[in-house]
Every structure is written in structure tokens, then in C-alpha cells.
Structure 1
Amino acid sequence: MTTADDLITLVRAYNPRTNEKLLRDAYAYGEDMHDGQFRHSGEPYFTHPVAVTAILAEQQMDDATLVTALLHDTIEDTKASFADVEAKFSREIAELVDGVTKLTNLQLTSAQSKQAENFRKLFMATSRDLRVTLVKLADRLHNMRTIKSMRPDKQAQKARETMEIFAPLAGRMGMQWMREELEDLAFRVLNPEARNSIIRRFITLQRETGDVVQKITADMRVELEKAGIVAEVAGRAKKPYSIWRKMEEKEQSFSRLSDIYGFRIITATEADCYRVLGAIHQRWRAVPGRFKDYISQPKSNGYRSIHTTVSGRDGKRVEVQIRTREMHEVAETGVAAHWSYRNGERVENQFAVDPVEWISKLTERLDDDQDHHEFLEAVKLEMYQDQVFCFTPKGDVIKLPRGATPIDFAYAVHTRVGSAIVGAKVDGLRVPLWTRLKNGQSVEVITAEGQKPQATWIDIAVTGRAKTAIRRSLKQEDRGRFIRLGRELARVGFENAGKKATDKALSIAAKTLAMESVDEMLAQLGSAEITARDVVVAIYPDLAEMPGDEIDANRAVVGLGDDQSYKRARCCQPVPGERIIGLTFKGKGVVVHTIDCDALADYEDQPERWIDLHWQEGTHTATNTVTLDVTITNDAGVLGRICTLIGEQDANISDLNFIERKPDYYRLMMDIDLRDAEHLHRVRTALDADSNVSEISRHRDPGLASVSLG
């Protein structure tokens, strides 16, 4: 256990004028009060308050906060009273200790109504002195560091509470290092298999590629030296929980994640921050949409920094944060920077926010009559980053996952509202239905009588509630259309096999597939739940292994009129196997788009021009061109090997253009002729497996939508 002398040495390193007697008295008093008490691990209980105090001393906190940490459990767990602490020390310290006791007694994981009330009490209490919260966060951090000694069920409870409340609270206060550690400690309890898997993959990656962080750090230092900029450069791999969250959000495997490394550049002046930004962007390509300037627009907790993401060595994406030393101190400690000492003097950091002013923004509108649920939603709106809280025109709060759209919002209000949505206004402005909603926005749903859910909504919605309701409605409303479409698909499927889709054949197929009726089988066929090949093989299993004739490219799409021809859209380049939609143009026929093509936004208000289409079942010709954006290392023979890999997959390169030529890598656009989505998957998998391919993606350009009409 850290002794009183050790603790005082730690404090004197940043505050030589510390009240040594006060700290010794608090240490002795706490040790005496907790005498005979032990933790779950068997250690003397007083080791915990001492460890909490050491955490706060590392943040260079003032004496009153440190004494509070030493005594924070005395009023709750010992014979000491508020009056005793006040008489022994001071009114200020007694109130701080009492505040921590009250926070400890809040049941933050109870029922929703109780939780709302407790959140209200928590923030009302901290509005008097935020140091209470700092001590409580340090208390939770040490408890999470030593959680293994608790029962498994208690570990899970504390870990969930930490992930849902204390980690976001630390982040909201600007203490990012504490948030990351709390999240990682909770992640270790809640999902140890995922955490260990990510760590193992990191070890494997480092063994295969070497120390990427060291290499990129060296590259950045070289560029800064060329520009004559003096700055500190440091890099690290991101925490396991941060990586896991990105994998969940982006639905990508570890191998496809690009920005798993973060780098920080600390400069002397604010002007140097922007000079560094210029040097970094001049050397490496910036990733669009990943630039944020928190220097010109700082966060409410005082955080200032420039964030940018670039394609670094070998085309790998890396995140770069650029800030001054003073900005860095606030970024590390957040609102705690207000109480920091150095050389015995309170640090005057121009970027540190007034904690009283900060917390008052959360509580300024509170009064005894305010609805507790509204307050809880307001607090969560401030704290949580992985959820989106939007408002109805009446002021009701709707909680949605990140990435939610107005369709999800409408179904969250009521299923009838979701089914009848035809448009939406966000903060008073009309927006497309696939717009991603952001925290705090006001959403007005526009409905119309007679409107029914559209098949395209399934790919736009993200919530399970919305998707389930849409699918249910589509099945009910479109059953007849699906049966007719299924009958046509069955007819074509049987013809391709040299057979006829007679009523008897369809009846036998339905029984073989354990369907309730022929109509049920045709409905599933029309809604793409089964394929025409499934129906044919149910009667003629010998045809399962027989390759069919290639489908004429002019007959590849099902659902067109007899007098209609089609063209594949240049913007999204749909291929057989992907869900598609058609847009009619006078004199131009039908242009086929993938269901998620961004160019469809321009035609949302013209539903009469949309045609529901499907690809013909069977083997398609390799005439469907897809453009791939490929980044490869700049080494001899790499390009030739890549071309050979594509040829080995029976695919043809019809065009190739170099977009970027850098000392470390090449970026090029490759037009490849393919049969279908499965063929595309095989080509991408083969390229992805090559160690010299650092990044590969499908290139889509909404700007080419008009070219498709030519």
C-alpha cells in the first residue's frame, strides 16, 4: 500500500506548497476509521481510498480533492459522521465527502423512473461542486481495476453500469484517457472473447507488418522537419473496445478496418497546428468527411484539437490529432484542468472551462416540477455518443441507434405513422428519407393517406422494429404481386431447364419444399426468399449439378415491359445477384440502379417512374463492368501479379487508370467485366488476400448518373 510519505512525495512533485500536515492527518484519520475492514480481495480496505487519491494526484488535483478521496468512504462505511469530518478538517471537505457518499448511494441501474430521478439528483449535486464527480470517477476506475475479486454477477453489473454511465460521463467531462480505460475494463468483463480476439489479431498484424506506429511516426517527423516545424509526434494502436465498436458500427472484420492507429502531434502555437495540417495533407491524401476543426469550434468541455484522417504508409488510414501543449492538457484532463496545480500555483490554462458554468448548462432549466423523464433524456443527449436522441414537433424525445433515418423515427413513433410516411422535415428543412439523423434534431414526419411501405425502405431503415414492420406489410400488401412474379420466375426457370411449369409440377414442388400451398411457394419465390432453381431442383434433383446456358444479356432483367429495354446505371454499376430498381426515361428506356444507389435521391418524389425489377435466374455472361478502387504497394512485379490474380478468376480487365502515384503505394481504378455478385466477391477476395493490396473498394460515382442516359 502507498504510504503517507509516498503520497506526499507524489503531490509535492507538482505542488511544492501542498499542506503536508492536512494530507497526513487525513491519511491517519482514514486509516484509523477503516481499521479492521477488508476488501473482497482480502486487502485492508484503506488501500482503496489511497489508490483513488493517487489517481487524482496523477491528475495534479488540489489538496481538498485529495483529502476528500482519502476520506470518501468514511461517512458511508465507518462510525465517522458529517460533523466529525467537519470538526476535524473543514466544512468544504465535509460537504465534498458527503457529496461522494450520496452519489455512491444512488442506484443508477434501477428501474427507468428511478434512474431518471437519480440522474437528476446526481447532476443537481454536482452542480454545487464538480470535484465530487471527479472523486467518484476515480473511485469507479480503481474498483474496475480490481474487479476480479468480486462475484461474476456483481462484475457484470458493475461493468454494465460503468459502460452505460461512468465511461460516457468521463468522456463528457473531457477525460478521454479515463473513458477509454473504463470502457476497456468493462469490455474485458462483458465480452472477454472479443477483446482477446482483437489483441491476438493485433499481435499477428504486428508480426506480419512490423511496428507500423514507429514507421508512420518516423515518416511524420521527416515531413515536419522538411517544413521547419518543431513538434512532438506520438502514435499508438487504438484500444480494443474502440476497435470492436468500429467493427460493429461499420459491420467490417478486423482485417478490413483501416483507421486502427491514432497519432498525436503537439505544437508550440496555434498557428503551428495549421502548418502541421498543411504538411500532413501535402504528403498524404486526406480522407473526405473525416476532418474536424475543434480549435475554431471547441467542444463545450474546453476540448480543442484538429482531427484529420489520411491514407498513410501503404495506403492505410490513420487518424491524426493536432493541438498545442495547453490544448493537450485540457484534452487529457477535461474540466479537471480547472483544479490542476503546478509548482504550487493553480495552473492558468486559457482553454480550461469553468466547471460551474459547464455543469450549469445541464441544470439551468431544472426545477422541482420538471418531468424526471425529460431530464434523463436531456442528460443522455449530452452524454451518450452511440445513440441518437431526436425530438418530435411536440418536444417528445425519440431514442434511436446511430445511423437511424426518418423512417426509423416514424416507426418509433407508431407503426401506422411509419407505414404512411412520404417525407420528412429535419429542423424545418425537407430531407430525403435516407438522411442519417443527428443528436438533438427535431423531426417532423409527413404522411399521406393510402401510402404503403416500399421495398426500398428495408435497406434504408436500421432498426429491427422498422424492418420487421416493413417486411410484414410488404408480405401482406404485395402477396398477389409476389405470386404473379413468382409464377413468371418459375416459368422461366423451368424453360431454362427444358421443362414446363405445369400446375401439377408446381404442386409437387411445393410439397417437396414443405410449403403450405403453391401460392405460398410462388410468393416466396417472388419475394426472393427462394430461387427458381430451388423450385426446379425440388422436382428434378439431377439438374442441381448441371450448368445452364448463359443468359442473353438483353434478357437478364425480369419485370420490364415487352417494349422496354434497359441499361445498367454507370453510377452504381449493378450486377446480377444484387437488388435492383428501374427508372423510366422517355425515349431512353429503363435505367437499372442498385437499391442503395445515392442517385435515386433525385427521383424520390417521382414514384410513378420506379419499376421493381429482378435479375434473371441462371448463369449470366461476363459483360457486367464494375470499377474497383485498389491501393497496392509500390514494388516491382506487384501490378502484374494483381492482373494475373484477376485473370485466374476468369475475369477480364477492360480498363485501368492510375489515380495516385506515391513513393510507398499506387492507387488505381480497374474496370473488370464480371458475371454476377458472386463473381465480384471471388475477385475481391482474391485481391484482398494478397499482402501487397492494402485497400480495395467498389467505386461508385453518383455524378455519373446522367451519363447512364446517354
Structure 2
Amino acid sequence: MMRQTELFERVQSYIPGADQELLDRAYVYAMHQHRHQTRTSGDPYFTHPLEVASIVTDLKLDQASVVAALLHDTIEDTDSTRAEIDAKFGKEIGELVQGLTKLKGIELVSKKTRQGENLRRLLIAIADDVRVLLVKLADRLHNMRTLHHVPPDKRERISQETMDLYAPLAGRMGMQSIREELEELSFQNLHPDAHALMHEKLAEMRERTRSLVEEIERTVVSDLAAADITATVKSRYKRPYSIFRKMDRNSVSFEQLSDLIGFRVIVERDEECYAALGVVHMRYRAVPERFKDYISTPKQNDYRSLHTTVIGPSNERVELQIRTHGMNEIAEQGIAAHSLYKDGIYNADDFENRAKSELLPESRAYAWLRRTVESLSDPDHPDDVMEQTRLELFHDQVFCFSPKGRLIALPRGSTAIDFAYAVHTDVGNSCSSAQINGRPAPAITQLKNGDEVNIVRGSHKVPPAAWENVVVTGKARAGIRRATREESIQRYSGMGEKILKSTFASGGKTFEPAKLEAVLPKLARPSVADALAAVGRGELPALDVMTAVFPDYRVERVGASTKPSGDGWFNMSGLSGAADFMFRLPGRRREKYAEAAEALSNAIPVVGASGKAVSMNEEIGAVPGDRIVGILKPGEGIVVYPIGAEALTEFEDLSDEWLDLRWDLAPQSNERFPAKIDVIAVNAPGTLARVSDIIGSADANITNLFMSPQDANLTRLVFGVEVWDLKHLSRLLRDIRVLDVVTTVERSMG
């Protein structure tokens, strides 16, 4: 175990003025707080934060980061508090340790929710101070190095999480060496057989290609020296996991792969990168479409280099990466090697502003980080975080331009919709189509490198919900979900309030939003509007709200009458939620009841038709004047049925889904409503025309027609019609009934 003096010497080697007293205090405090704890391996727990601190010193981070590494588990795993850390080591270190601390003492809905919330908080902490990420990656790296001590099921879960999130996150921040080690360790645990096979194949390949590699190194160094370019040339083979992923993605064998051998050419100055590229292409034939210039157009993680693939000796494909020493340091260590970071700037905004003011290109990683944090900024829906972050991490890039020349980097496969959301959320929400390279194109068109994209905006402010399945970026998906969620809340919250008022009134209570706000934690809803909308959508039973506000309501219900009546029964004693008006009557009995019953005073008013929180059933419709009830269907809202509808029999056992409704139309309403007419008529030429003419003459509208022969003489005609109200429908039935070709006519309720 590393001693205090050794730790100080490591820090002092790159920070001559390091504070030994601070480092010693942190060392002793962490060792004392973890003194009774051991790791799964049986080692003292303190060995873990000490090793994390060692990795942090390898990255040459400041002493505050080293201290945070020593203390990173104290708040989470000991009785230490944030206030105590602030008092002993200062607010700066306290904020770092807090940013590294997982959630504690909060019962979240699921493991996915808990992981998502932890990740969201971590990313937000990173945006405030990038050192949080550096220490977190060091923490995860040491945990992965010692993962063989934990049980297999936990080992697999941690490895998958590392592969899905932490390794790509390290890559996004440009820390390639840490990414590769995390991937290697995860690969070893997730696919041990494939891992062993890849290492075996690579060992054989190294032996077979040793002379080839040495020849290329000598040739490139000699050619560059002849061109007066001082360079270092290093060979490297693709990593086992990278090979495995390529084999899996392309469904090929190891022997079918090319570009497994690579060379890194390190030169002194930027302009020498392009000169060296020319020298290499003069020696070896370049592979078409295999050249990438990440110097003029850096990656989002600040990576800068020239990539080319050439045909080397023995017709082997060989990849070369050409970069300067500074570019190589950024490529390996990412933000840990950033020149601005070394100047003591840790906040992402400061990085961005300083980089712009000094015309430096190394600011893309922080712009990406802020965009990612913005897309994860909704604390009420942490379930989406894991998915959105994966969307942002796992994609190659395409580079597109706005009409004004703004460069926007997007994941490969992105659409014009993704581009619109990358410009601004409002632009995405109102996007209707696009012009790509001056030509009109659908909004769902996938973009290619170099496309110029002009977004055509419409008057709408809510995007189609189906776009969520089309877009690629987390920001676009989050924007669509947020907009549709807000629209849904606006649409359904009013109906939810009416349902609750009706339910509370039937129970002898008065609904007040303030009472609902007090019980939101019990209902697992973040706001009153969310709760009201959930009731309106049928996701939250009104009875649950009633019993949350009035816990003794169930006691009040004891003794409620359930009076049998003939061949069926009904109960109007103020039952739960939507079942304040529940029927169990055959169709005929229900129809008789509908004719006799008076509307309840607390019935919910129905104003309009489909497309809102209230919609008509598709089978038979309903018209003003009908005695109506509503069935509360989760995700659909209230579906209106006339009380005599045969379809209601399938809901007779679902008492919580029934609502009593009443019509509430304006006197001058010009809205038609759907109904069905069942006609038995003579099967003769002109019969359909005569019945249709009567319907048109009565100012009704035919929406559909079903015909079926009954026998040689009669045929059945079922019309879907739209009428003004029940009186209008009754007159229409009377007019059809007097036709001499009509045997029977009635309204269809089935």
C-alpha cells in the first residue's frame, strides 16, 4: 500500500508547490473513516481510494483532484457529511466529493431509474467541474481492475454498465487510453471465450507480420527524414474488443478483416502532418475514400489527426495516423491533457469562452457535454437518461452546415429533425420539412457529410410523437418527449380535474388542487398538472387520489348498498374513481334505465368530439340527447358510449373505469356526431339509391356503408351517419321507415 510520503512525491513531481499538509490530512482522514471496512478481496477498503488517487496522479491532475480521489467514498460509505468535508478540506473539495457521491436514502421506482438519476447527476456535476469526470473514471478503472473478486452476476452487470456508459464517456472526452482499458476489462468479463480467442489470434498475427511491421517503420522514417521531417513512427495492432466488435458488426471472420495493423506518425508541427501525408502517399498507394482529416475538422472530443489507409508490402492494408506531439497527448488523455485545464480552468463554460477568445479548437468536448446535460435536464423522468446517453455516446459522426455556414456535428444516421433540434429546441418542435443542398426534402431524411440543411418551420409547436422513433440524437428525442408530454398534460389535465371533482362530489367531498399537492409523493407524481393529466389519461385511478387525500374514505364506503334487481344489478352509491355510475345490466335493461334515469348532478360535461381528452367510440358513436357514460381507457382518455351500447358489456367487471357523463354543447354548435343505422330492405335495383337519397335530404351525412344479403329477397344495409342530435336521428329513422322498400329500420347499438 502506498505511503503518505510516496503519494506526496508523486504529486510534487509535477506540482512543485504541492501542499503536503493537505495531502497528509486527507490520507489520514480517509484511512480513519474506512478503517473498519474491507473490500470483496479481503483487502482494507482504504486501498481502493488510495489506488484511485494513484491513477489521478498518473493523469497529472491538481492536488484538489487527488484529495477528492482519497475522499470520494467517504460521504457515500461512511458517516462523513458534506458539511464536515467542507469544514476540513474546503468547499472546492467538498463540491468534488459531492459530485462523486451516488444517491442515498431515496426509494426510486426501479434500478433503471436509479442508474439514470445517478448518471444524470454525475453529468451535471461534470458540467460544473470536469475534474469530477476524471476522478470518476479513475474510480471505475480501479474497480474494473479488481472486478475478478466480485460474484459473477455482479461482475457482468458492472462490466455491461462500463461498456455501455463509462468507456464511451471516456472516449467522448478524448481519454482514449482509459477507454481502451475499460473496454478490454469489460470485454474480458462479458465474453471471456471471445476475449481469449482474440488474444490468441493477435499473438499469431504479431508473429507472422513482425518483419512487415519493421520494414514499414524503417521505410516511413527514412522517407520522412529525406523530406527533412523529424518523426517518430510506432506500430500498433487493433485492440481485441475493437476487432471483436468489427467482426460482429460486419459478420466476418478474423481472417477476412483488413486494417488490423496501424502506425502512428508523430511530427513536430501542424503543417508537417500534411507534408508527411504526401510523403506516405508517394511511397504507398492510398485506398480510395479511406482518408479523414480530423485536423481541419476535429472530432467532438477534441481529437485531431490525419487518417489514411494504404496498400503496404505484401498487399497488406495498413492504417496510418499522422499527428503532432500535442495532438497525440490530447488523443491519449483528452481533457486531462488539455492546455486550458493545466491553466486551472475546470468549468465547461470557462473552457469554451477561453478557447474561443484564444482561437483554440479544443472546445468541442465541452459543447457536447453541455448539450448532453441539457437533454438530460428533466429531473422528473430519469428513466430516459440511460437511453438518451447511449444515443449520444454510440455513434460515428456526420458534419453538416447551416445556410450561414455553421458547422454542426451529428451522429451518423441523423435526420433533418436531429439537425433542427441541434440548432434549437424551438426549431425542432416547429420543424415541418427541410431543404437539403437547396432541394426540398422530408424532415425524416438522413443526412450525409457536407450537407447544407435549411429547416422549414411550420406554425405548430408540438412535433409528431412518432418522430421519437425516427431521430438519433438524445437531444432530439428528449425535446420530442418533453413537447408531447407538455401537450398531453395540457390536453388531459382539464379533464382530469373534472373527473376528480365528480369523484370527490360523489363521495361527499370537495376537490381542491391544494389538497392534491400535499399528497403528490404518495401518488408518485411530480406536480399537480402531471397528476391531473394522469387521471385524465386513465393512468391514475381517481379512487387512488381520493384515498390519498382522505385515507378514511374506504371506511366511509363500508356498507354501501349493492342492491340486486332482476336479472342484473346497478349501484349508484358513490363507488370508486370512475365507477360512480356503474351498471351491470343486459342491453335492454340498460336501455330502459337510460330512458328513465335523470342525469346525476356531478356528471362530467362533454363538449366535443374526437382528438381531445374525450373521444367517441368507433363502433356505434353517440349523439347529443343520448344518455351517455364514459369508459376511462389508459393512454386514450375518456371514450364515450350511449348507455344502451352492447359493447359496454365487456367493461361490466371494470368498475373503476366507468364515468357518468352529460352533454354540454353550445346552443349554436355546428358539430355533427356519429351513429349507425341498421336497415333491412328489399333486394331490388334502386333500393340503395332511395335510402341514400332520404339520408341526404334529411341533412345527414353518410360516412360508411356495409351491405350483406339476408336471403333471396332482402338485404341488410348498415349506414354510418353523422347527425346533429338525437331528435335529428329520430326524424331520419322515421323518414326511412316510411319507404315502401324498407322492412325494418333501427339504430344499431352493437
Residue 191 of structure 2 is aligned to residue 191 of structure 1: yes
CA distance in 1, matches of 2:296, 2:62: 30
Distance 1:212 1:385, change over 3 A: farther
Greater shift after overlay, 162-171 or 435-444? 435-444
The correspondence of residues 323-338 of structure 1 with structure 2, limited to 5 A, is 323-338=323-338
Match among 346, 363, 370 for residue 360 of structure 1: 370
Contact 2:173–2:365 (Cα < 8 Å) also in 1: no
1:123-155 alpha-carbon deviations (Å, 9 max, x no partner):
223221121121111111111111111111111
Contact 2:53–2:70 (Cα < 8 Å) also in 1: yes
Residue 172 of structure 2 is aligned to residue 172 of structure 1: yes
The correspondence of residues 497-508 of structure 1 with structure 2, limited to 5 A, is none
Q: What residue number does 1:521 align with? A: none
The correspondence of residues 291-690 of structure 1 with structure 2, limited to 5 A, is 291-338=291-338, 352-353=362-363, 359-364=369-374, 368=378, 378-385=388-395
Q: What residue number does 1:141 align with? A: 141
- The offset of 1:312, in angstroms, is 1.8
1:319-367 alpha-carbon deviations (Å, 9 max, x no partner):
2111111112211121223488889999999554387655323334665
SS class of match (1:385)? coil
SS class of match (1:102)? coil
Distance 1:387 1:329, change over 3 A: closer
1:445-493 alpha-carbon deviations (Å, 9 max, x no partner):
xxxxxxxxxxxxxxxxxxxxxxxxxxxxxxxxxxxxxxxxxxxxxxxxx
Structure 2: gaps spanning 5 or more residues: 399-410, 417-433, 457-750
SS class of match (2:259)? coil
Amino acid at match of 1:359: L
- The offset of 1:224, in angstroms, is 1.0
- The offset of 1:205, in angstroms, is 2.4
- The offset of 1:31, in angstroms, is 1.2
Greater shift after overlay, 345-354 or 71-80? 345-354
Distance 1:314 1:148, change over 3 A: same
Bigger Rg, structure 1 or 2: 2
Contact 2:229–2:276 (Cα < 8 Å) also in 1: yes
Q: What residue number does 1:285 align with? A: 285
- The offset of 1:379, in angstroms, is 3.3
Contact 1:61–1:339 (Cα < 8 Å) also in 2: no
Contact 2:184–2:241 (Cα < 8 Å) also in 1: yes
CA distance in 2, matches of 1:358, 1:26: 34
CA distance in 2, matches of 1:108, 1:170: 27
Greater shift after overlay, 5-14 or 154-163? 5-14
Amino acid at match of 2:20: E
Q: What residue number does 2:42 align with? A: 42
Contact 1:120–1:375 (Cα < 8 Å) also in 2: yes
Contact 1:156–1:190 (Cα < 8 Å) also in 2: yes
Amino acid at match of 2:285: R
SS class of match (2:302)? coil
- The offset of 1:434, in angstroms, is 13
Distance 1:168 1:3, change over 3 A: same
Q: What residue number does 2:609 align with? A: none
Distance 1:429 1:183, change over 3 A: farther
Q: What residue number does 2:72 align with? A: 72
CA distance in 1, matches of 2:233, 2:108: 40
1:40-86 alpha-carbon deviations (Å, 9 max, x no partner):
11111111111111111111101111110011011111222112211
Contact 1:267–1:324 (Cα < 8 Å) also in 2: yes
CA distance in 2, matches of 1:202, 1:164: 25
Q: What residue number does 1:85 align with? A: 85
SS class of match (1:296)? coil
Distance 1:148 1:115, change over 3 A: closer
Q: What residue number does 1:214 align with? A: 214
Structure 1: gaps spanning 5 or more residues: 389-400, 407-423, 445-710
Q: What residue number does 2:265 align with? A: 265
1:598-653 alpha-carbon deviations (Å, 9 max, x no partner):
xxxxxxxxxxxxxxxxxxxxxxxxxxxxxxxxxxxxxxxxxxxxxxxxxxxxxxxx
Contact 1:108–1:118 (Cα < 8 Å) also in 2: no
Contact 1:147–1:155 (Cα < 8 Å) also in 2: yes
- The offset of 1:105, in angstroms, is 9.6
Amino acid at match of 2:33: M
Contact 2:302–2:364 (Cα < 8 Å) also in 1: no
Distance 1:100 1:404, change over 3 A: closer
- The offset of 1:25, in angstroms, is 1.4
CA distance in 2, matches of 1:404, 1:315: 36
Distance 1:354 1:70, change over 3 A: farther
Task: Give the structure, 1 or 2, with the largest relative contact order (CA under 8 Å, sep 6 or more).
Answer: 1
1:638-695 alpha-carbon deviations (Å, 9 max, x no partner):
xxxxxxxxxxxxxxxxxxxxxxxxxxxxxxxxxxxxxxxxxxxxxxxxxxxxxxxxxx
Distance 1:110 1:274, change over 3 A: farther
State TM-score, norm by structure 1.
0.52
1:379-400 alpha-carbon deviations (Å, 9 max, x no partner):
3333113799xxxxxxxxxxxx
Distance 1:177 1:426, change over 3 A: farther
CA distance in 2, matches of 1:76, 1:282: 59
Contact 2:18–2:63 (Cα < 8 Å) also in 1: yes
The correspondence of residues 120-139 of structure 1 with structure 2, limited to 5 A, is 120-139=120-139
CA distance in 2, matches of 1:109, 1:279: 60
Amino acid at match of 1:154: K
Amino acid at match of 2:192: P
CA distance in 1, matches of 2:67, 2:253: 47
Q: What residue number does 2:25 align with? A: 25
Q: What residue number does 1:154 align with? A: 154
Contact 1:307–1:320 (Cα < 8 Å) also in 2: yes
CA distance in 1, matches of 2:165, 2:122: 11
CA distance in 2, matches of 1:375, 1:439: 30
Percent identical residues? 45
CA distance in 2, matches of 1:337, 1:109: 40
SS class of match (1:266)? strand
CA distance in 2, matches of 1:103, 1:288: 51
Contact 1:270–1:324 (Cα < 8 Å) also in 2: yes
Distance 1:64 1:280, change over 3 A: same
CA distance in 2, matches of 1:142, 1:104: 22
Amino acid at match of 2:284: W
Q: What residue number does 1:256 align with? A: 256
CA distance in 2, matches of 1:361, 1:105: 30
CA distance in 2, matches of 1:298, 1:129: 23
